[in-house]
Structures are given as structure tokens and as C-alpha cells.
């Protein structure tokens, strides 16, 4: 696909901002990469958890002062203006496994949905 390396770099930059902002407590940076219609859902400590964009930003705010987590890109598939990434990151004595759907909105990639499992 023409332009794939640039596209992949842009997506990786978006994901890096997401992980750093969400785990390091920076809701402003996180808000820049979350689509206005963002939703997330998954399993955390055996319970099903669902959050809207506002809930995700509030969660990030509670992490202020924490070091940002490292993360690994396990898979990435891009099809035109949509992409799906699978990442993992150790955080707070757990490993978060996340499947993230992205949409090229305007001139940048934004996260529209995240499904996760934290073990």
C-alpha cells in the first residue's frame, strides 16, 4: 500500500500518545487522540467495565504523577481510513491487552474504540 510507512508512523505516534497520556495522567494529551465518540469496554479484575470519552479522561486525570507505561505493538492492520491495532502494556502490576480501533478523522488518526483485558 502506498504511503503505508508514513501511515504506520502516524498510528504509532497516536498510540504512543494514548498510552503515555492515559497511564501518565495527562487528560489533555489523551483528549487529542480520542475521537469525540470514543467508547471503551473490557475486563478489569474480573469485572466488566465500560467508559465514555469523558470517563476515560477522568480516569487519566486520576493517574497524574504516575510514570507512563511502556507498550508493545503486537499487530496492526490498516484499510484506507480505518485501522485496528493490538497492543499490550504492563501497568499497575497487570498486563493490559488492548484492541484499538482507529479512524483517520480529518488529517489525523484518532481512537474510536478500545476493547481490553487486564490480568
Domains (ranges, CATH) in the chain? 4-118 (3.10.450.50)
| E strand intervals along the chain | 34-44, 47-52, 72-79, 82-91, 94-105, 108-118
Per-residue pLDDT at 4: 63
Would you state the cell numbers that stand for residue 60, as one nine-digit string?
487519566
| Nearest Cα residue to 116 out of 32, 59, 31 | 59
Q: What gap in Å lies between CA 10 and CA 94, rounded to an integer?
A: 27
| Residues 58-109: tens digit of each pLDDT | 999 999 888 888 999 999 999 999 999 999 998 778 899 999 999 999 899 9
Specify which residues 88 forms β-bridges with. 72, 97
Amino acid at each position: 500500500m502506498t504511503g503505508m510507512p508514513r501511515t504506520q508512523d502516524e498510528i504509532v505516534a497516536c498510540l504512543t500518545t494514548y498510552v503515555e497520556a492515559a497511564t501518565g495522567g495527562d487528560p489533555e494529551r489523551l483528549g487529542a487522540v480520542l475521537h469525540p465518540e470514543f467508547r471503551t469496554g473490557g475486563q478489569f479484575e474480573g469485572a466488566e467495565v465500560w467508559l465514555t470519552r469523558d470517563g476515560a479522561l477522568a480516569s487519566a486525570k486520576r493517574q497524574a504523577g504516575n510514570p507512563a507505561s511502556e507498550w508493545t505493538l503486537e499487530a496492526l492492520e490498516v484499510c484506507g481510513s480505518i485501522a485496528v491495532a493490538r497492543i499490550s502494556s504492563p501497568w499497575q502490576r497487570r498486563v493490559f491487552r488492548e484492541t484499538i480501533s482507529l479512524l483517520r478523522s480529518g488529517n489525523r488518526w484518532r481512537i474510536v474504540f478500545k476493547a481490553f483485558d487486564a490480568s
